[in-house]
Structure 1
Amino acid sequence: MQLLDINKAQYRARLNVVIVACIAGLTASSLAISQTLIHLLPSESGSHFHWNALGVVVSAALLGITLLNLKTHPKMKEVVYVWELKHALNLIYRKNRQLLEHAKQGNAQAMLALQFSYDGSRQLWKLDDNTITMDSLHKSQTQLDIWAREYGVELDIRQYHSKILKAF
């Protein structure tokens, strides 16, 4: 995955549309499905929990399928990019301890993964207005820069790909 320049205002606007559409779609379809099931198959005990639960599950599945089908739509570009970035950062986060140990010993691939993580996190936090943890990110970046200079490693995140993580 490569980091892209994203228009923050456009991303936020499109994300808000997706969120509202998901909430409205999930609410309307789960109610429609559960009420239809209750009407067609009423329970003598008066409890319709299983029909309501089934309505929510089916609606969630339909919503998931719809989002997967809309993933390639041009208006979903920024939202999908952020979803994929969060996934890529999560994969790195799971290996963070091992990456830090290897980076400390001069492993260029570990340093590259950490650099991608730091740059991606910085971009993500700016898009989401989550600047509270930028100080800790700056400290981590400073340490990585020290290791890169110490071992003579050039960190170009365009060279990063998720297969690097398999070594850790």
Structure 2
Amino acid sequence: MAFYLEEHDPETYRRKGRLISLAMAGQLIVLGLVFSQLLVVSFGSSLWLNALGVFLGLLATSATFAVLKDRPWMKEVRYVWQLKHHLGQISGYLPGLRKAVEEGNTTALDLLTFYHQGMAQLAELNGRTPDDDSERLAEKMQVRLKREEKGLPDKVDGFDPLDLQAFKRG
């Protein structure tokens, strides 16, 4: 399934991300303590029962999160998780993609363009400046020049993960 870049307000994403992280951590702590106490009261005191209680709290928190992740108010956080997942997928293919770009492969150009756009957007959403080292800047420039040579637009809207299958994993 294709993934498309979307515009999101960085401040809204960071605020929601912090709120969701705190809520999930709080829920884990409370449920871990509740399950641990219930097990200790029912079966006696034991390190293993306390650990089982924390594990049950983790399972309950994970289940709650799995149910809530598709809610509309989770849109920005869900988008960033998906973006990170796809950027991680592409990073595994970077050596093959770089080689294909040198050979003039249009799909590789699109994938590397998406990768650089996604990394820049991720940095912006997280409130960081892009950590563009000289190699990355040179690669971005090379991709931009190759795209201009082929008459391709500067930016891409998204990518299809199936396009990666044509390239050798690094």
State the TM-score, normalized to the length of structure 1: 0.88
Shift of 1:149: 3.5
Q: Is residue 2:43 matched to residue 1:41? A: yes
Which amino acid is the alignment partner of residue 79 of structure 1? V
How do 1:114-125 residues align onto structure 2 when only pairs under 5 Å count? 114-125=112-123
Q: Structure 1, unaligned stretches of length 5 or more?
A: none
Mapping for residues 31-110 of structure 1, pairs under 5 Å: 31-43=33-45, 48-110=46-108
Distance 1:105 1:111 in 2: 10
Work out the percentage of aligned pairs sharing the same amino acid. 30
* Distance in 1 separating the partners of 2:128 and 2:11: 15
The structure 1 segments of at least 4 consecutive aligned residues displaced by more than 2 Å after TM superposition are 134-140, 146-150
After superposition, the C-alpha distances for 1:6-59 in whole angstroms (9 at most, x for unaligned) are 01111111111101001100111011111211111114xxxx222222222222
**Deviation string for 1:33-91 (max 9, x for gaps)?**
11211111114xxxx22222222222222222211211221110000000110001110
Deviates more, 1:129-138 or 1:82-91: 129-138
User: Partner amino acid for 2:144?
Assistant: D
Q: Deviations over 1:116-165 (max 9, x none)?
A: 11101100001112225134543321121133334x15255225211111
Structure 1 distance, partners of 2:151, 2:158, is 13
Within 1, Cα distance between the matches of 2:110 and 2:95? 14
Task: Give me the whole-angstrom Cα distance separating, in 1, the residues matched to 2:56 and 2:69.
Answer: 20
In the superposition, relative to structure 1, how do residues 159 and 81 fare at CA in structure 2: closer, same or farther (>3 Å)? closer
> Which blocks of at least 5 consecutive residues in structure 2 are unaligned?
none
- In 1, are the aligned partners of 2:87 and 2:119 still within 8 Å (CA)? yes
State the alpha-carbon separation in 2 of the partners of residues 153 and 135 from structure 1.
Answer: 27
What is residue 142 of structure 2 aligned with on the other side? 143
Structure 2 match to 1:161: 160
Q: Name the aligned partner's letter for residue 147 of structure 1.
A: K
Partner AA of 1:154 in structure 2: L
Higher RCO by CA contacts (8 Å cutoff, separation 6 or greater): 2
Instruction: Give 1:115's aligned amino acid.
Output: T
- Cα distance between partner residues in 2 of 1:86 and 1:106: 27
- Alpha-carbon RMSD: 1.7
Residues 54 and 67 (structure 1), Cα distance of their counterparts in 2 relative to 1, 3 Å cut = same
Tell me if the contact between 1:29 and 1:59 (Cα under 8 Å) persists in the aligned partners.
yes
2:145 is aligned with what amino acid? Answer: I
